Amino acid sequence: MEIRIPYGKETIGAQLPQENLMGVYHPVKYTGNRDEGELIDAALDCPLMGPDLKTLAAGKNDIVVITSDHTRPLPSQLTMPRILRRLREGNPQAQITILVATGCHRAMTQEEKVARFGAQIAQNERFVMHNAFDEDQMVALGNLPSGGELKVNRVAAQADLLIAEGFIEPHFFAGFSGGRKAVLPGIASAQSVRYNHNAAFIDSPLARAGVLEGNPIHRDMLWAAKACKLQFILNVVLDADKKVIHAVAGEPERAHFSGCAFAARHAMLPKFRADVVISSNGGYPLDQNAYQAVKGMTTAAQCCKDGGVVILAAQCSDGHGGQAFYEALRDAKSPEELLSRIREVPAERTPPDQWQYQILCKILTRCQVILVSDLPREMVEDMKLTWQPNLQAAVDYALQKMGPQAQVAVVPDGVSAIAL
Please, what is the angle between helix 76-90 and helix 110-117, to 10°? 80
Q: Is 229 left (phi over 0), alpha (psi -120 to 50) or beta?
A: left
Asked if 211 and 171 count as a contact pair (C-beta separation under 8 A), the reply is: no
- Are 124 and 141 a contacting pair, CB within 8 Å? no
Cα–Cα distance, 392 to 375 (Å, whole number)? 17
Q: How much helix, strand and coil, in percent to the nearest 5, is found in the chain?
A: 40, 25, 35
Helix (H) or strand (E) holding 57: helix 53-57
- How big is the chain, counted in residues? 420
Cα-based distances in Å from 229 to 18, 76, 99, 141: 55, 23, 15, 10
Question: Residue 71 class from Cβ within 10 Å (0-12 exposed, 13-18 middle, 19+ buried)?
Answer: buried
Q: What DSSP string describes 245-270?
A: EEEEEESHHHHHHHHHHHHHHHHBPP
Separation between Cα atoms, residue 214 and residue 134, nearest integer Å: 32
Among residues 105, 130, 218, 320, which one is catalytic?
105
Q: What residues have CB less than 8 Å from 307, skipping those under 6 apart?
A: 366, 367
Omega prior to 185 cis, within 30 of 0 = yes
Of the listed 26, 70, 130, 171, which one is catalytic?
Answer: 171
Q: Is 171 among the catalytic positions?
A: yes
User: Is 70 annotated in the active site?
Assistant: no
The answer to whether the beta carbons of residues 406 and 400 sit under 8 Å apart is no
Task: Give CA torsion, residues 4, 270, 206, 366, to 10 deg.
Answer: -60
**Residues taking part in catalysis:** 105, 171
